[in-house]
Amino acid sequence: MSKWLDNAIFYEIYPQSFNDTNADGIGDFHGIIEKLDYIKELGCNAIWINPCFLSPFGDAGYDVADYCRVAPRYGTNEDLKQVFEEAHKRNMHVLLDLVPGHTSVEHSWFKESMKAEKNEFTDRYIWTNSIWESPEGMASLRGISDRDGSCAINFFSHQPALNYGFYQPDPEKPWQQSFDDKGPQATLAAMEDVMRFWLNMGCDGFRVDMAGSLVKNDPEGKGTIRLWQQVRKFLDAEFPDAAMVSEWGEPDKSLLGGFHMDFLLHFGPSHYNDLFRCDEPFFSKRGKGDISAFVETYKKNYEKTARKGLICIPSGNHDMDRLSRRLQCDELKIAFAFLLSMPGAPFIYYGDEIGMRYVESLKSVEGGYNRTGSRSPMQWDDSTNAGFSTAPSNDLYIPMDPNKNRPTAKASIENPDSLYHEIKKLIQIRQSHESLKSRGTIEFVYAKKDQYPLAYLRESENEKILVVINPSAQAQSFDYNCTFKETIYSFGGEANAENQIVTIPGQSVGFYRI
Ligand code: NOJ
């Protein structure tokens, strides 16, 4: 059962912006293959590629027009197969991005579904029975079809919602179907075909977009959980090794649905933003942050999901501000010491390992809006377009970070004190200690309201490691009775444990075997 997740360290590739090998200003599959060794050298052994399928790109590919054909701008299906093969040769795994909640208006299913005559796709999306009736509680797409009806949308207006039914269909609204009805079951069967197609081609699983919102009017997620349990049966029967990671943000629900791992995200109840993305992030050296609410919700989730699956905390992703928008230099190193010593597989967003900046004031590209600043091209070296592409600068998909001091992978590799090297070291340490890996247990030792530091114990069968993290500039201490037997990692100075008090210098981290 996807055992490899236990020591997986992911690298998220936003394919548009990663590496362009055919000088058209946009990244491609050959570009990914060319950089697999770079990713491996950093220590990552798994990648997640954002949607790379045929699409009008109104939402950067999260508006799929054909689930089984890649977008020509990235290459061919055969090229993607080669990505899987090249990754496997290096003992790496690849997750594709599955977008089961909606399609683009250009998908052939939607074109058929818009027709006035009944056909196989009439019930593939959620339609009311009259253009004058809107689907209550949901935004809708109206007036573009011959069919008389309004179609529910999921995200942007051009992303019609696929029909997986309603948790408790309203008998007064005959267009609301139940998950067990023919239409919703056919939609799910079609989505299983999509999964089958890519898994047979060699992908190792999926990151699933908006996984928690498929069944409608389902506030507690019960219908959606049931849906995913049905998928789990299909996967257990046909692809027991496929890894499933959900964009849900409520691990107790998603793991019950059969996902192996769920993201904590910038939305939802996790308090993830308190760490790195609020006015006073916990990881800022100002020391005015508060991690207690995050820890409290984490603990609850952790207890509820114990032994059922994993919770993962990403460094960032294509939807949120870059980590470096609010944290700099040593603050970033300390943040990564946290990310790389927590349970669940870490996810590093491309470029975060070199401290790539959030590029301010960029014009929105392909539905990015304020997210565009986190999606600028990877900075490889000091050649043209930072080595991302040899196309004229004006042709780049998103402009490069114009800052002349922008970090690059090359300079980071050359500088032994760089963030890149700290991350590489942290990954090596994580991978050589069972207790620090995804399934090592965690017990929080110190995480008090408005207080520093943060301390937790990671434990496996024969090892106990105390992690002490003090992002604040001031030295801190807390009561704890232990003896440090070995320093496994330290940054910014070592802590000491004396007379039942642990004291830790300002802006420092330590992992101690106790
Ligand atoms: C979440 C994705 O990460 C985001 O980029 C996208 O716009 C929405 N889901 C809609 O699919």
Give residue for tokens 């179907």. 177
Q: What is the mean pLDDT of residues 103-111?
A: 98
Given this model, what pLDDT does residue 2 score? 81
Is the four-CA dihedral 81, 28, 71, 322 of positive or negative sign?
positive
Asked whether 259 and 246 are in contact (CB, 8 A), the reply is yes
Atom 4 of ligand 1, residue of closest alpha carbon: 319
pLDDT, residue 238, reads 98
The fraction of the chain above a pLDDT of 90, given in percent, is 97
CB 378 within 8 A of CB 19: yes
Pocket of ligand 1 (CB under 6 A): 59, 62, 99, 155, 209-210, 247, 318-319
Tell the residue nearest (CA) to atom 1 of ligand 1.
209
Residue 98 Cα to ligand 1 middle (Å): 11
62 CA distance to ligand 1 middle (Å): 6
For residue 209, the CA-to-ligand 1 centroid distance in Å is 7
306 has pLDDT over 90: no
Sheet with 310-312, side-by-side order of all strands:
310-312, 261-263, 243-246, 205-208, 93-98, 46-49, 10-13, 347-349
Contact 353, 420 (CB under 8 A): yes
Q: Would you place residue 493 in the very low, low, confident or very high pLDDT band (cuts 50, 70, 90)?
A: very high
Give the model confidence (pLDDT) of 242-264 as tens digits.
999 999 999 999 999 999 999 99
Q: How far is the CA of 473 from the centre of ligand 1 (A)?
A: 37
Task: Tell me the per-residue pLDDT of 277-294, one tens digit each, with 9 for 90 and over.
Answer: 999 999 999 999 999 999
Choosing from 107, 158, 209 the residue with most ligand 1 atoms within 8 A of its CB, the one to mutate for a pocket test is 209
Q: What is the pLDDT of residues 165-188, one digit of tens each?
A: 999 999 999 999 999 999 999 999
CA of 59 to the centre of ligand 1 (A): 7
Ligand 1 center to residue 350 CA distance, Å? 17
Residue 59 CA: nearest ligand 1 atom is 7
- Quick one: which atom of ligand 1 is closest to the CA of 62? 11
Question: Given CA atoms 247, 253, 259, 260 in this order, what sign does their dihedral have?
Answer: positive
> Which residue's CA lies nearest to atom 11 of ligand 1?
62
Query: Residue 119: is it exposed, middle or buried by C-beta count within 10 angstroms (0-12/13-18/19+)?
Result: exposed
Ligand 1 atom nearest 155 alpha carbon: 10
Pocket test for ligand 1, best of 13, 52, 62 (most atoms within 8 A of CB): 62
Nearest CA to ligand 1 atom 6: 62
Q: What does the mean pLDDT of the chain come to?
A: 97
Distance 183 CA to ligand 1 centre (A): 25
Length of the chain: 514
Buried b (16+ CB within 10 A) or exposed e, 164-202: bbbbebeeeeebbbebebebbbebbeebbebbbebbeee
Instruction: State in Å: Cα 477 to ligand 1 middle.
Output: 42
Q: Which of 409, 403, 405, 465 is nearest to 434 (CA)?
A: 465
Closest C-alpha residue for ligand 1 atom 3: 319
Mutation test of ligand 1: which of 12, 14, 59, 153 has the most ligand atoms closer than 8 Å to its C-beta?
59
Band (189; pLDDT cuts 50, 70, 90) = very high
Among 39-53, 63-77, 300-314, 411-425, the range scoring the smallest mean pLDDT is 300-314
Nearest residue by C-alpha to atom 5 in ligand 1:
319
Atom of ligand 1 nearest to the CA of 102: 11
Helix (H, G, I), strand (E, B) or coil at 387: helix
Q: How far is ligand 1, taken at its centre, from the CA of residue 72, in Å?
A: 21
Residue 40 class from Cβ within 10 Å (0-12 exposed, 13-18 middle, 19+ buried)? Answer: middle
Q: Give CA–CA dist 160/137, Å, rounded.
A: 15
Joined together, the tokens standing for residue 18 give 């990663």
Start-to-end Cα distance in the chain? 32
Where are any strands of DSSP class E within 130-257?
140-141, 151-152, 205-208, 243-246
Helix, coil or strand: residue 3: helix
| pLDDT tens digits, one per residue of 358-380 | 999 999 999 999 999 999 999 99
Q: What is the pLDDT of residue 329?
A: 93
Q: What pLDDT, in 10s, does the model give residues 377-419? A: 999 999 999 999 999 999 999 999 999 999 999 999 999 999 9
pLDDT digits (tens, 9 = 90+) for 126-169: 999 999 999 999 999 999 999 999 999 999 999 999 999 999 99
- Position in ligand 1 atom list of the atom nearest CA 101: 11
pTM of the model: 0.98
Query: How far away, in angstroms, is 99 Cα from ligand 1 center?
Result: 9
* Pocket test residue of 99, 155, 247 for ligand 1, highest count of atoms within 8 A of CB: 155
| Residue of 97, 319, 366 with the most ligand 1 atoms within 8 Å of its CB, for mutation | 319
Closest CA to 245 of 438, 98, 43, 430: 98
* CB-based contact 203:194 (threshold 8 Å): no
Percent of the residues in the chain that have a pLDDT greater than 70, as a whole number: 100
CA 63 to ligand 1: nearest atom: 11
Residue with tokens 């900075």: 379
Handedness of CA 240, 246, 251, 252 (dihedral sign): negative
CA 383 to centroid of ligand 1, rounded, Å: 32
- Say how far apart CA 513 and CA 239 lie, in whole Å: 39
How much distance in Å is there from the Cα of 184 to the middle of ligand 1? Answer: 22
Residue 245 CA, ligand 1 centroid: distance in Å: 15
Q: How many Å lie between the centroid of ligand 1 and the Cα of residue 14?
A: 12
Q: Which residue has the tokens 């967003």?
A: 349
CA–centroid distance, residue 210 to ligand 1 (Å): 7
The pLDDT of residue 1: 64
Asked if 298 and 238 touch (Cβ cutoff 8 Å), the reply is no
Q: Is the peptide bond before 377 cis (omega within 30 degrees of 0)?
A: no
Measured between alpha carbons, how far is 364 from 376 in angstroms, rounded to an integer?
A: 11
Q: Residue 446: what pLDDT?
A: 98
